[in-house]
Chain A
Amino acid sequence: QQQVKQSPQSLIVQKGGISIINCAYENTAFDYFPWYQQFPGKGPALLIAIRPDVSEKKEGRFTISFNKSAKQFSLHIMDSQPGDSATYFCAARIIQGAQKLVFGQGTRLTINP
């Protein structure tokens, strides 16, 4: 049972375009929603994160949009660059005796030059 559902599984975008990755969740106990970026052969690293009391967070070319009522959140990469080519994971945190992050299935993003 996947608690966080991510789509698409893979995405190809032209350089300069907008990349959009979507995630949906069911558990309303989640209180923190990060996105992680992973390059080949490396571990994931935190890219950007949002809490459910705000609807949007922007850091440079990266924006998280959060819709609490729909239980959905998305990552937008503006002016996508070849260096953004990586696998992206959305996640959600639950605190039930311990803090645990539940990850989506991942999206392999390729930016064509």
Chain B
Amino acid sequence: IAGITQAPTSQILAAGRRMTLRCTQDMRHNAMYWYRQDLGLGLRLIHYSNTAGTTGKGEVPDGYSVSRANTDDFPLTLASAVPSQTSVYFCASQDSNTGELFFGEGSRLTVL
């Protein structure tokens, strides 16, 4: 059982470049989320999607966009990366019966 698969595992990116972080789930969960993790700040919600075709903004959405064309995929795009977007990014899906979030193993992004 794969659960949540994220790619790439890590990436170094020049400022101003466009980057898409990929996220795929095989649990058929409706709700999916993108968080960023920074030391001392915990996990902060960037964007979420309740179901395919819908998306919403979280706590820190600026500079990021998402799409949800189908149930399984929820990519996160940085249109023009900046150094403050250096972080570890986690994708998650939610079991609607229990409320439990299932996380991927993260994508470590460094913007120079």
Residues of A within 8 A of B (CB): 2, 6, 9, 32, 34, 36, 41-46, 49, 89, 93, 97-106
Contacts and interface: CB of A to CB of B under 8 A. Distances in A.
7 contacts: A6-B42, A9-B40, A43-B104, A89-B43, A101-B101, A103-B42, A105-B42
Contacts of B105: 41-43
Interface string B40-53: 11111100101000
B103 interface: yes
B90 interface: yes
Contacts of A98: 31, 48, 50, 56
Contacts of A100: 33, 45, 48, 58
Interface string B48-77: 101000001011000000000000000000
Contact of B41 (A44, A102, A105): A105
Where chain B touches its partner, the secondary structure class is: strand
Contacts of A106: 40, 42-43
B110 interface: no
Interface residues of B, number: 25
Contacts of B92: 43
- Most A CB contacts (10 A, CB to CB) among B33, B35, B101, B103 go to B101
B4 A43 contact: yes
A21 B92 CA distance: 24
A102 B42 CA distance: 9
Contacts of A32: 99
B86 interface: no
A44 B43 contact: yes
Given A32-B99, A43-B103, A102 B45 contact: yes
Nearest to A4: B42
Contacts of B94: 99
A7 to B, nearest CB: 12
